[in-house]
Each structure stands twice: as structure tokens, then as C-alpha cells.
């Protein structure tokens, strides 16, 4: 617990996390304005909640950045040595950092949801729409938060594996924005040709995180519950590799 406390002090005593939180929720708010303004929410009430959840997910990009920074900042500035001096069992340090990433992800997700709701509510009520406050809406909210938490945890584990800050950030976004997109397009083309559903794309790490928020019936992501399980699997795998690397490779 003292290591978790130490990590939380580290998180709260620099500016970057606050900047990222503001940018993350601003992006979610802008996406919400876009959803509402485009008129694409003039359908059923559940879709509204889901759409807003997806709007909030735009902020998730910066949760990934924060997760990566939680580990790589320490390697970049040399403070990892001070950290390991206080906790020579490095796996415990990783556990504390992943826990911190999870807490940060929870906060980022909640704030992004709050931002989207604050933007969307006046707009929607002006048009006579309402947001449901039933089980399904709560589930949508829960999924957004879970996707933020798992994104932050996986990003922190990737940070432990790569250790170089630039390397981890570039690697993460090249993978999410370029590699996964390429794989999805190529395998989509290939299997459409054969006339079968794409069996690869939905199992990629980025798709698993995207699928958590809302992908019922999509060809490209798993349904929510399965996506959570898959993302948990990725989190476990990256954590295992991260634990191995952080223990073996000396700072």
C-alpha cells in the first residue's frame, strides 16, 4: 500500500496528468457536441447513451499517454533508481504503477463522461430528448470506465516493456492508428473476397478496447462482454512480459 501511496504522490505532484485530463475531457466534450449536433442521436434513447459513451471514449487516447508516462517518466528522468532503492522487488513497483494507472483511468473515464453529459444534456433537452437513467445506461457508463481503466493499465505495462518514453508513445500510436487499421482493412478485403466474416480484426488489442464501449453486432469488434475479457487477457499478458522485463533489465 505504501508503494501505491508513493505512486499517487508522484502522479499528483507534476503538471502533465492534469493537462492530459483537461485535454482528454475536452476532446470527449467536442466529440459529444459533434454527435449531438450532427443529428445522429435522433433515434432511440439507448443509442443516445451509447453514442455519448463513444464520444467519451475519444478521451481515452490521453489515458493511454498517461499510462505510458507513469512508467517511462521514471526511466527518462532517472527517478526509477530512487524508486527501486525504496522497493528493490521491482514487480511490486510495477503492481503499484498498474494500480495507479487503473485509478487514473477511472478518474479520466468519469471526467470524460461528465464532460460529454454536460455538453449533451442542455442540447438534447432543448430538443425535447432525454437521456435514460436505467440499467442499460448504467451499463454503457460502466463500459466506458472499464475501457479507460484497461487502456491505462495496458499502456503502463507497455511502458514497462519498452521503457523508452518516445519509443513507447510512438510504438503505441503507430500500432493503434496504423498497424491495426492496416490489418483490419487488409483482412477485411481478403475475407470479403472469400465471402466470410473477418476472423482477425476483432481480436486485436485496440479493437478489444474499442469493443468494450459498444460494438454490438459489429464485424470489427467483439460484443462488449467478450471484449472486456479479451482486453483483460491482453492486460494480463502485457503485465507478465512487463514484469519480466522490468526485473531483468537494469535501469
83 vs 147 by CB, closer to other proteins? 83
Q: Are 97 and 71 in contact (CB under 8 A)?
A: yes
| Closest CB to other proteins among residues 140, 156 | 156
Does 86 bind other proteins (CB under 8 A)? Our answer is yes
Q: Check binding of 84 to other proteins (CB under 8 A).
A: yes
- Sequence-ordered list of residues with C-beta below 8 angstroms from that of 202, at least 6 positions apart, any chain: 208, 211, 218, 219, 220, 221, 222
Residue 21 CB, shortest distance to other proteins, in Å, is 16
Residue 77 or 127 having the CB closest to other proteins: 77
> For the chain, percent helix, then strand, then coil, each to nearest 5?
80, 0, 20
Q: Kindly give, in sequence order, each residue whose CB lies less than 8 Å from that of residue 111, ignoring residues fewer than 6 positions away.
A: 21, 24, 25, 59
Q: For the beta carbon of residue 219, count every other beta carbon within 10 angstroms.
A: 13
Binding test (CB under 8 A) with other proteins, winner from 54, 57, 83, 116: 83
Q: Which of residues 106-145 bind other proteins (CB under 8 A)?
A: none
CB of 155 to other proteins, least distance (A): 19
Cβ neighbourhood burial of 4 (10 Å; 0-12, 13-18, 19+): middle
Task: Choose one: 80-88, 157-165, 169-177, 237-245; the region binding other proteins (CB under 8 A).
Answer: 80-88
Work out how close the CB of 153 gets to other proteins at its nearest, in angstroms, rounded to a whole number.
Answer: 21
- Which residue's CB is nearer to other proteins, number 12 or number 195? 12
Distance of closest approach, residue 123 Cβ to other proteins, in angstroms: 37
Stretch of 81-89, 171-179, 220-228, 234-242 contacting other proteins, by CB under 8 A: 81-89
87/245 with CB nearer other proteins: 87
Q: What is the dihedral of CA 111, 113, 117, 119, to 10 degrees?
A: 60
By CB under 8 A, name the one of 18, 42, 77, 189 that touches other proteins: 77
**Among residues 38, 82, 125, 136, the one that binds other proteins under rule CB under 8 A:** 82
- Under a CB-based contact definition with an 8 Å cutoff, are residues 158 and 168 in contact? yes
Helix (H) or strand (E) holding 213: helix 205-213
Q: Which stretch binds other proteins (CB under 8 A): 42-50, 86-94, 156-164, 178-186?
A: 86-94
Residue 220: CB minimum distance to other proteins, A:
39
Burial of 239 (0-12, 13-18, 19+ CB in 10 A): buried
Tell me whether residue 81 or residue 118 sits nearer to other proteins (CB atom): 81
Looking at residues 4 to 23 of the shown chain, list those that interact with other proteins (rule: CB under 8 A). 5-6, 8-10, 13-16
Range list of H helices, 129-204:
135-162, 165-173, 180-194
Amino acid at each position: 500500500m505504501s508503494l501505491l501511496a508513493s505512486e499517487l504522490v508522484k502522479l499528483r505532484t507534476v503538471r502533465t496528468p492534469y493537462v492530459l485530463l483537461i485535454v482528454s475531457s475536452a476532446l470527449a466534450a467536442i466529440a459529444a457536441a459533434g454527435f449531438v449536433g450532427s443529428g445522429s442521436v435522433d433515434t432511440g434513447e439507448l443509442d443516445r447513451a451509447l453514442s455519448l459513451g463513444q464520444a467519451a471514449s475519444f478521451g481515452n487516447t490521453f489515458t493511454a499517454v498517461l499510462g505510458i508516462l507513469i512508467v517511462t517518466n521514471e526511466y527518462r528522468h532517472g527517478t526509477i533508481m530512487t524508486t527501486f532503492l525504496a522497493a528493490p522487488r521491482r514487480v511490486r513497483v510495477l503492481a503499484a504503477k498498474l494500480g495507479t494507472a487503473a485509478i487514473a483511468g477511472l478518474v479520466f473515464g468519469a471526467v470524460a463522461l461528465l464532460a460529454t453529459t454536460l455538453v449533451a444534456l442542455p442540447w438534447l433537452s432543448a430538443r425535447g430528448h432525454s437521456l435514460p437513467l436505467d440499467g442499460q445506461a448504467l451499463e454503457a457508463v460502466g463500459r466506458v470506465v472499464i475501457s479507460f481503466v484497461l487502456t491505462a493499465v495496458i499502456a503502463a505495462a507497455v511502458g514497462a516493456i519498452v521503457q523508452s518514453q518516445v519509443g513507447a508513445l510512438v510504438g503505441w500510436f503507430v500500432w493503434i492508428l496504423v498497424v491495426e487499421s492496416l490489418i483490419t482493412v487488409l483482412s477485411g478485403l481478403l475475407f470479403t473476397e472469400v465471402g466470410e466474416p473477418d476472423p482477425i480484426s476483432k481480436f486485436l488489442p485496440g479493437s478489444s478496447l474499442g469493443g468494450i464501449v459498444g460494438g454490438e453486432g459489429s464485424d470489427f469488434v467483439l460484443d462488449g462482454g467478450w471484449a472486456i475479457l479479451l482486453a483483460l487477457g491482453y492486460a494480463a499478458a502485457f503485465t507478465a512480459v512487463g514484469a519480466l522485463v522490468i526485473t531483468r533489465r537494469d535501469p
